[in-house]
Structure formats: structure tokens, C-alpha cells
Amino acid sequence: MVTLAEVAQHAGVSASTVSYVLSGKRSISASTRKRVEHSIQQLGYHPNAGARALASSRSNIIALMVPLRTDMYVPVMMEIAMAVATSARTHGYDVLLLTGEEGPAAVRRIAGSSLADAMILMDVELHDERLPLLRESGRTAVLIGLPAETGGLTCVDLDFEATGALCVEHLAALGHREVAVIGEAAAVYERHTGFAERTVDGVRAKARETGMRILHRPCEGGYAATAGTLGRVFDERPGTTGFIVQNEAAVEPLLNLLQQQGRAVPEDVSVVAVCPEQVATQASVRLTSVAIPAQEMGRRAVEQVVAKLAGRGTDEVELLEPVLTVRASTGPAPA
Amino acid sequence: MVTLAEVAQHAGVSASTVSYVLSGKRSISASTRKRVEHSIQQLGYHPNAGARALASSRSNIIALMVPLRTDMYVPVMMEIAMAVATSARTHGYDVLLLTGEEGPAAVRRIAGSSLADAMILMDVELHDERLPLLRESGRTAVLIGLPAETGGLTCVDLDFEATGALCVEHLAALGHREVAVIGEAAAVYERHTGFAERTVDGVRAKARETGMRILHRPCEGGYAATAGTLGRVFDERPGTTGFIVQNEAAVEPLLNLLQQQGRAVPEDVSVVAVCPEQVATQASVRLTSVAIPAQEMGRRAVEQVVAKLAGRGTDEVELLEPVLTVRASTGPAPA
DNA sequence: CAGCAGAATCGAAGCGCTTCGACTCCTCTC
DNA sequence: GAGAGGAGTCGAAGCGCTTCGATTCTGCTG
């Protein structure tokens, strides 16, 4: 491996000069810069990451903690993760992938070893065990999701309360009075994952306002589970004419089942989904939906991290405004 | 941050002793070990990753290059990535997530900076641009997937040729003579991604052997695209009674469409999928399928990497044996 | 009982980089 | 024409760890 010293020798300057050319932290004459850059090119020099980290106490790595539960809302998670990785690169950072498996201890390990300059946490629970450790560690961090107590934390998330409200508003405007919410898997609520609960809160609040009856049921997703949930919904509320679906894995099964039962979408039943655009447009019925802006969430999280690391800190909660796109799955309530 | 030196002082030993306690590379008396470990506990010491990397020229990081194309066979990619991250941890490694975006340059950057001890490449094309750089860099690497030229490379993959053959065998045994392969998106073939082509090769070879007629069509996935593909298949081969589906995103749409057309599965038409177990079991019809063992692939890749880093190298191609599970989507060909 | 092997520990030399003075020229300014 | 000040460069001191002798103490062997 080529070292900085070799580059310096090749260019006929001192090591520190090469370092300053690389970092731009001091002024360097054009001629020297050119010479050094040329040597770097020619020798194929790459700064050694470890040495750099040691000397500067900056690793240029952002740790990303994604939930282990690979079976849950996977596409969204993946999209966020990829967006984080991609945006991070544009800011000169690499991303370390941590699965939830290691649990809260990962926070301690990463912070303690200075492996990463900052952390981005996904799948945040309302009372997340990682948060106390995070605060204590004093490391820069950004959450994708919203815990119960956000004091001193930077958070990025879709405004799920507004999302819920938006869905209700849309259905209410179309005249629907009885609406069922097909929620995430029960485990998601048990873990008190913020977004799921907040969506329902938003739905409930707006429903009260508009005089709509809401039936909320968790659903595991998949065909069989969705069939069960749907059956129970119609048993309990035969007059249901609208559905708000939060679990992506229940979207297609639901459409399929409704069709089989002879309930036409949107003539007999309207469906609004909360899901990525791709899911909405590729479903068997083009779905009216509120998009989950996974890419944007990942990007914003990285931007916040970078800003904080640069000292331009903002301990803020940034809620992205939900956008509802009307497609072919919603229509006026049947008379 | 607590340093090794502080631990040493606290325990009343020299720094090197602490280091040896940590690494176990020299014998340490039980009493000293205990004392040092106690100090580590008490001070909450974590070795500094950068310093360690610098001194040992080992970062304990494995770089994972995943394709940028987030819209393709996402669940599988995600599952592999998570399995890699998880297994890596059990061997004491962390995982750096690289998106394809940076392209082949990423290989050079990572190798040059010694950021990672090894790389795992996913989504390998037959003539992958990254491979020459990889060979040149001399870094330890394992591919998940199979390029055209595997000399000197360690590869892990499902045996997709055998997979294709297995599907054909199953359908042939049930008496099907005209079978359509619903393939991956056209772009996948254009990029000459090995697994897609090899599956078709396997299908073709076994079909010749069993006297079966094969029609292979790429398919973008999603409802609309699948509908188009399916229409064209039946136009061209109205006698088609079997389907082999490789594109996960076409599975559910296909079942849905067949049902709408009044073709019962498996009475009129049989469907075999190549997909993760979860997709197969959660579909509207429980699918006969060859599982894509994503977890296992990720795990094996890590194990290979670890073995190579430990000097127990194997420049081998490891093909996982496909397993076909019969479920409810295949039956005897209609008379 | 001299001598030697092995166990346990220490000291010091880096690993390759960043960064902080310090130094040398210039170019202005009054 | 002397002093101020800035631009450009260098040297050296670490950053926190690993690792390679060297050293000290046993406990044996012949």
C-alpha cells in the first residue's frame, strides 16, 4: 500500500503538505497542489482509513441500525437503507449496517469504539431501549421514527398522524361512514412502534371530527391472515365501505379477497393504502395512497447527521408532510 | 474515552499486557487476567477501532456491495444482507454497506483505504466490471452469484441450473408438456446476471431431455406487466399448462390473473415459483416452489470470508442444492 | 547444582495520518 | 526602508493500539 509519506517524497514535499492538499485546511500554492495531485494519481494513493480515523478521531462512517425483523415492511426498510447509504456517500461517509440483533449493546459498542461518527436508528419504539444509551454516549444521532420523548433528539419521519387524518378526510369526503383500518402485525403494536400507533391516532381523531366509525384491526399480512382479518371485519361491521391499509403485505391479498367476494373496488368498497408509490401503482388496482417517502426519509436523516457533525446542529423533529394521491381504488360511498 | 493505557494503569500492569489479555495471543496468568478484566468492566473500556485497525492492519469490517437497483427482487437482497450482517457479527466483524451506485470504483476505494478486510459482492454479472479490480487488489472476496469466469474466486450461490431442471422435472412428472417461464425483468438478462440465465439454461436442458416445450418470457413484475406477458404467452401457446415463475413480483399478479381468466390452479394450470419460502407460503395459493435460501447464502458467504481471512482459504464455487417443496399450486396436467 | 526451558510480563518501536506551532519569503503600508 | 501580516511550507508530536524482542522468575532435568 502506498502511504502519504511516499506521495510526499515522490512530489518532493513534506507529509504535512500532502495532508493539507487532501484536506484543504491550509492554503497551498497551485503549483504544489498540482504536483501532489499528480503524484497521488500516479502512485494510486488512497489514505488509510484507520490511520485517518486515529489521527483525526473521525471515521467518516455512519452506523445504521435497522430492525432485525426482516419480515416486516421490508421494502420500505430496504429503500431507506439504500437511500441512507447513497446519500451518505455523496457527503463522503460510508455506512455501517447493524442489525437489531445485537440490541442496545450495539449502541454502546459503536460509541465506545469510535467506529462511527454518528448513528441513524430505524424502527424506533415509543420507549426505545437504545435511547438512554444514546443520550448517555453523547454521540451524534438521528432517528427515523418518533419516540415518545424526543427531547434533545433529532428525528425524521413521515407525519403519520397527519397521514391517518388525510386518509379519513379523503374517505369522509367521498361519503364513507364506516371504515376499517387494516393495521400492521400485532407485534408492531405490542412493541409500541410509534408510526403504527400514530397513524391510528390520526385516523381516530379525524374520524371523530367527521363523524366516521372506525374499526381498527391489526393484521399479519399474507393471504391467509388477511382473509381472517377481513372476515372478522365484515362480521362485526357489515356496513363497512372503506378500508385504510397500513400493512403492505395485506394490500394485494385484500384486493384479491374483495374481488372474490364480489365486492367491486371502488364501486362497492374504497381502499386507501399507506405504502410506497411502487406498491400503489403495481397493485392489481391502482391504489389511492399516501406515499411513504422512504428515499426522502433516508436522505433527510443523512443530511441531519452531516449537519450535526459539522456543528450546524438542529435538535429538531422533522415531520414530512404526507401526500395523498387519488388513483383508482377510491370512489363515492355506495348509496 | 477510556484508553488502553488507562486500563493498564488502573490494573497496575503494562499496556501490552492488557492488549494480550484482550487478544489472547500470549499467555497471561489467571490473576492478572482477572484484574485486567475487572478494570475493563469498571472503566467501561472499548478498544478504539481506528487505532486497532492501524496497528494491526485489520479493520474487522467486511464490505458488502449490494446492487443499487432497489426495485429488483428486494426481499431476497434484503434477507441476504441481513444474514450477512448478522453472521458477520457472530464472527466479530461489522458490515459496511455499499450500494452499487459508486460502481467498480468502490472496490478500488475500499481496497485502497484498507477500510474493509474483505468484500462480499452481490448481484454479480457474468462479466462483472468489478472482478478485474478485485483480482488486482488482491483483497479477500466472496461473490454471491456466479460470474462467467470463476478462476481464483470464491463464489456462493444457489445452483440455479439445477433449480431450473428441478422445476421442469416436477412438471414433467405431472404430465405437463407445454410450459412457460415467467422470467425476471428484461434488464436483468441484458445485464447478463448469471442466476437468471442459468435458471433458463437449466430449464431448457431438462426440457429437451423430457420432451417438454418451453416458452421463456422476461417479465417486469407488477400487475400490468404480468398481464401483458401472460396474454402473449397464451396467444403464442394456448396449450400451456405449466408456469415456472422466477420473478417474485409476478407471482401474485399471475395467480390473480389466472383466477380471473377462470383457469383454476392447480386443476387447469400448474405454477412453480423460484422464491423465498415466505413468498411461497403467503401467496393466495400455497405455491409449489424452489426456495431461494437467502439466509444460508449470506451465512455461507461470511463463513467463507472468515475462513479465507484466517488463512484457511478455499477458492471454490459452492453451489447450494435446490430443494423443491410441493404445495398446492401444482397438479397433474389436465387431460 | 549448573543450566535451561517455559510462563508471564514489560518497554519501545512503530502503524499512517492530522495538526499545531514555527519558519521563510513576499508584498504592502506608512 | 522598516515593520506588519499573510501565504506557503516544514518538522515533530502525537492519536491508541499491536507486536516484537528482552527480561525476570519460576521449576526442572541430567
Distance CA A142, CA A305 (A): 6
Pick the CATH number of A4-47 from 1.10.260.40, 3.60.70.12, 3.30.540.10, 3.20.20.70: 1.10.260.40
Q: What is the mean pLDDT of chain A?
A: 94
Nearest to B88, CA basis, from B317, B304, B315: B304
Least confident of A283-292, B2-11, B160-169, B310-319: B310-319
**Is B73's pLDDT higher than 70?**
no
Domain boundaries, chain B: 4-47, 61-158+294-320, 160-291
Helix, strand or coil for residue B246?
coil
**Architecture category of domain B61-158+294-320 in CATH:** 3-Layer(aba) Sandwich (3.40)
Q: Name the burial class of residue A152, with classes exposed (0-12), middle (13-18) and buried (19+) by CB atoms within 10 angstroms of its CB.
A: exposed
Half-sphere exposure in the Cβ direction for A242 (13 Å, CA): 28
The spacing between the Cα labelled CA in A58 and the C1' in D6, in angstroms, equals 30
Nearest to A270, CA basis, from A185, A177, A192: A177
Nucleotides on strand C with an atom closer than 7 A to protein CB?
7-12, 14-21
pLDDT of residue B68: 73
State the Cα angle at B90 between A48 and A53, rounded to 5°: 20
Distance CA B303, CA A144 (A): 32
Q: What is the CA radius of gyration of chain B?
A: 25
Nearest to A251, CA basis, from A281, A293, A296: A281
A 281-300 near B (Cβ less than 8 A): 281-284
Q: What is the CA radius of gyration of chain A?
A: 25
Residue A204: beta bridge partners? Answer: none
Write the DSSP assignment of B1-47 as a string of letters: ---HHHHHHHHTS-HHHHHHHHH--S---HHHHHHHHHHHHHHT---
pLDDT of residue B71: 56
**Is A233's pLDDT higher than 80?**
yes
List C-alpha distances in Å: B182 to A304, B50, B143, B144: 43, 49, 26, 23
Residue A144: beta bridge partners? Answer: A156
Helix, strand or coil for residue A125?
strand
Cell of A181: 383500518
Helix, strand or coil for residue A288?
strand
Q: Report yes or no: A188 at the B interface, CB cutoff 8 Å.
A: no
Q: Which residue intervals of chain B are DSSP H helices?
A: 4-11, 15-23, 30-43, 49-56, 74-90, 105-113, 130-137, 160-173, 186-190, 194-210, 223-236, 248-260, 277-282, 294-309
> Contact at 8 Å (CB) between A180 and A207?
no
Size of interface A-B (CB pairs under 8 A): 148
From the list B54, B112, B222, the residue facing A46 with the nearest CB is B112
What band does B72 get if pLDDT is binned at 50, 70 and 90? Answer: low
The distance of Cα B234 from the centroid of its chain, to the nearest Å, equals: 33
pLDDT of residue B291: 97
pLDDT of residue A314: 79
Q: Report yes or no: B136 at the A interface, CB cutoff 8 Å.
A: no
pLDDT of residue A78: 86
Per-residue pLDDT tens over the stretch B107-143: 999 999 999 999 999 989 899 999 999 999 999 999 9
Distance CA B153, CA B326 (A): 35
Residues close to nucleic acid strand D (C-beta < 7 A): A 12-17, 20, 26-29, 31-33, 51, 54-55, 57; B 1, 3-5, 15-16, 19-20, 22-23, 25, 45, 47-48, 51-52, 54-56
B110: closest CA of chain A, how far (Å): 9
Q: At residue A243, what are phi and psi to the nearest 5 degrees?
A: -130, 140
* Mean of pLDDT values over B92-119: 94
B82: closest CA of chain A, how far (Å): 7
Per-residue pLDDT tens over the stretch A238-283: 999 999 999 999 999 999 999 999 999 999 999 999 999 988 998 9
What band does B234 get if pLDDT is binned at 50, 70 and 90? Answer: very high
Q: Name the burial class of residue A5, with classes exposed (0-12), middle (13-18) and buried (19+) by CB atoms within 10 angstroms of its CB.
A: exposed
Helix, strand or coil for residue A96?
strand
Distance CA A56, CA A50 (A): 10
Distance CA A268, CA A330 (A): 10
Domains A61-158+294-320 and A160-293 share a fold: yes
Q: Quick one: what percent of chain B has pLDDT higher than 70?
A: 99
Which fold does the domain B160-291 belong to in CATH?
Rossmann fold (3.40.50)
Residue numbers in B 52-111, CB below 7 Å of strand C: 54-55, 57
Q: At residue A290, what are phi and psi to the nearest 5 degrees?
A: -100, 120
From the list B82, B97, B278, the residue facing A95 with the nearest CB is B97
Least confident of A97-111, A203-217, B10-24, B108-122: A97-111
From the list B52, B115, B252, the residue facing A252 with the nearest CB is B252
Distance CA B44, CA B41 (A): 5
Residue type, A30: A
Q: Report yes or no: A262 at the B interface, CB cutoff 8 Å.
A: no
pLDDT of residue B152: 83
pLDDT of residue A73: 64
Question: Which DSSP state fits B218?
Answer: -
* Domain at A160-293, CATH class: alpha beta
Distance CA B147, CA B48 (A): 38
Write the DSSP assignment of B275-319 as a string of letters: E-HHHHHHSSSPPEEEE--HHHHHHHHHHHHHHHHTT-----EEE
Per-residue pLDDT tens over the stretch B285-331: 999 999 999 999 999 999 999 999 998 877 789 999 999 999 999 99
What band does A315 get if pLDDT is binned at 50, 70 and 90? Answer: confident
